């Protein structure tokens, strides 16, 4: 083969190789164009993302709607991140409010019952017993012709000293009358160890009394009760006449000696 022929043969092969490469490039460009027209490739990926986003948005909207429904049943103030959360908030708050209201009602009822029990307890305090008390009589300088009767509760429980003491000097049969103006506003109640007082006028200071005698003992009754106790009068006995009288029971000695 001549030199010219060999050169032409190599040149022809080079052209064929270039043509084949151009064909491959053209085929790649054609595939790219087809992918763009069919919506596959990048656009297909974008559509998948758009679909996922739409589903997420729809799910969030549904969850929000359920959350709002839950808050309607509950507090009504939730923003609704989900039906479960909204429902939990509604149930929890409603339950707490119901519990507080019931507790308040129970507290009010308990307060009323407690007050009633206190009143009943006050009404249940009974009269004192002269046999469970320390009873004594003392002389006083002022007023003249007076004695001070003392009644100390030794029963160990609270008790009332009703009205005024019923007194009988010596062997006398008639009781000493009470001074009505000395009646206190309330009955005197004695705790254990406390003392009630009554002032005794033994005779008229102006000499208006009659039938006076010297008496050495005094029998003391509580108004409305038959049992009594007898005490000795001070100084070996005192002069008593028809002007003798006694006050209602008082809480202090000074009140008892006012009349």
Q: Give pLDDT, residue 205.
A: 85
| Chosen domain end from 101, 123, 145 | 123
| Chosen domain end from 81, 108, 123 | 123
Q: Give pLDDT, residue 223.
A: 94
- Residue 259's pLDDT band (boundaries 50, 70, 90)? very high
Question: Do 68 and 170 have their domain in common?
Answer: no
d(CA 2, CA 36): 52
Structure confidence by residue, pLDDT tens digits, 162-217: 999 999 999 877 899 999 999 999 999 999 999 999 999 999 988 888 889 999 99
Q: How much is the mean pLDDT over the chain?
A: 72
pTM of the model: 0.55
Question: Do 86 and 150 have their domain in common?
Answer: no
For residue 225, being part of any structural domain is answered with yes
Reply yes or no on whether the pLDDT at 70 is more than 90.
no
For residue 35, being part of any structural domain is answered with no
State the virtual CA torsion across 66, 72, 73, 77 in degrees, nearest 10: 100
Q: How many CB atoms lie within 10 A of CB 78?
A: 20
In this predicted model, which residue has the larger pLDDT, 17 or 210?
A: 210
For residue 3, being part of any structural domain is answered with no
Structure confidence by residue, pLDDT tens digits, 102-160: 544 554 444 444 444 444 544 689 999 999 999 999 999 999 999 999 999 999 999 99
Structural domain including 217 reads 130-256
Question: Do 195 and 115 have their domain in common?
Answer: no
Share of the chain above pLDDT 90, in %: 47
- Residue 12's pLDDT band (boundaries 50, 70, 90)? low
Counting Cα atoms < 13 Å in the Cβ hemisphere of 11 gives: 6
Q: Give pLDDT, residue 54.
A: 41
Question: Do 102 and 166 have their domain in common?
Answer: no
Question: Do 157 and 70 have their domain in common?
Answer: no
Question: Do 248 and 135 have their domain in common?
Answer: yes
For residue 37, being part of any structural domain is answered with no
Residue 173 main-chain phi, psi, to 5 deg = -95, -25
């Amino acid at each position: 083969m001549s030199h010219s022929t060999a050169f032409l043969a190599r040149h022809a092969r080079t052209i064929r190789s270039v043509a084949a490469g151009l064909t491959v490039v053209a085929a790649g460009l054609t595939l790219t164009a087809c992918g763009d027209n069919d919506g596959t490739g990048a656009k297909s990926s974008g559509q998948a993302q758009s679909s996922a986003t739409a589903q997420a948005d729809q799910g969030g909207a549904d969850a929000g709607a359920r959350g709002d429904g839950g808050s309607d049943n509950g507090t009504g103030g939730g923003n609704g991140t989900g039906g479960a959360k909204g429902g939990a908030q509604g149930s929890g708050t409603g339950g707490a409010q119901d519990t507080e209201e019931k507790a308040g009602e129970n507290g009010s009822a308990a307060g009323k019952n407690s007050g009633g029990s206190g009143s009943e307890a006050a009404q249940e305090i009974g009269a004192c017993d002269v046999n469970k008390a320390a009873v004594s009589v003392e002389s006083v300088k002022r007023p003249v012709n007076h004695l001070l009767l003392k009644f100390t509760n030794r029963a160990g429980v609270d008790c009332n000293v009703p009205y005024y003491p019923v007194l009988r000097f010596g062997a006398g049969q008639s009781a000493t009358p009470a001074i009505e103006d000395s009646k206190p506003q309330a009955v005197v109640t004695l705790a254990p160890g406390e003392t009630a007082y009554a002032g005794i006028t033994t005779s008229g200071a102006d000499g208006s009394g009659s039938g006076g005698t010297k008496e050495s003992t005094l029998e003391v009754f509580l108004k409305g009760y038959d049992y009594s106790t007898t005490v000795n009068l001070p100084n070996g006995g005192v002069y008593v006449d028809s002007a003798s009288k006694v006050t209602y029971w008082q809480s202090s000695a000074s009140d008892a000696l006012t009349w």
